[in-house]
Amino acid sequence: MSNFQSYQNGASAEENSRTLTSPDTTFRIVYWDIACVAATARDMLAYGKGKWTDETYQKTPGWFNKIISPYKVLPVLNVISPEGKELVLSESIVIDQYLAKRFNLLGDNESQEWTIKSHYSNIHYLRERSLMKMTWTWADKRQEALELFLESTLPDFIENHEFHLRANGSNGHYVGDRLSLADIHLVNVMDHFSQLPNGDRFTAQFAKSQLLTKVRHSVESNPEIAAWRASEEWKKFDEGSTRNYEITRPPPA
């Protein structure tokens, strides 16, 4: 049996569009029992007071055959109409941008929307670059990759983003004066690095930046996000990430 999932769900495009925009729509996130690329979506669902559940998996033997998704990868967001009809969105970038649009986290006009998406993309790429070049590289190359990332890649990123935060008035937001997708994504990507082996070294570099710290404060001060992040479920995903990445610790010299 194929474990590919089709985007065609038997409903018309008009019906699916109504499901995607209905105020009564509910959601189910399908992902591993970690934070990583589902974390931003969960924060936005909390922010927007969305109703959602998490369907989680562990990478145990045979996990590949248990996953049904469009591209055999996770996360997947199932969007459920009030009548129970489901449609699927896949790929974390698409999921994040859909939820950001739904919950008014893309600014107040076209210009702000594309600026927010640009910041989001660059923040997203920092994590993707680290996963490819540092976290999941060959074991005997991990220490070297870690030091290069800490000495060059991360300082360059921080300097670059401080420039843009200053340009917006150093007010704890990337664009305008309220929360956006970029703000929420930055905090979740910083969280990701804290969950890695040697996470304290990443956290120390981020903490030196008053401007990035101010963004964190803006996000974590939101009452809905604060309540979600204080929940046992959020802590479970945070701890799951730490356990998941322990196998990527650089071997002793």
pLDDT in tens, 201-234: 999 999 999 999 999 999 999 999 999 999 999 9
Say if residue 172 is exposed, middle or buried (CB neighbours under 10 Å; 0-12, 13-18, 19+).
Answer: buried
What values do phi and psi take at 161, rounded to 5? -75, -30
Separation CA 216–CA 32 (nearest Å): 25
Separation CA 97–CA 109 (nearest Å): 15
Which tens digits make up the pLDDT trace of 80-137? 999 999 999 999 999 999 999 999 999 999 999 999 999 999 999 999 999 999 999 9
CATH level 2 (architecture), domain 13-102:
3-Layer(aba) Sandwich (3.40)
- pLDDT above 70 for 1: no
What are the structure tokens assigned to 219, written together?
A: 């996000």
Domain at 110-248, CATH from 1.20.144.10, 3.40.640.10, 1.20.1050.10, 3.40.50.300: 1.20.1050.10
DSSP 90: E
pTM of the model: 0.96
Domain assignments of the chain as residue spans, ordered by start: 13-102, 110-248
CB–CB of 226/234 below 8 Å?
Answer: no
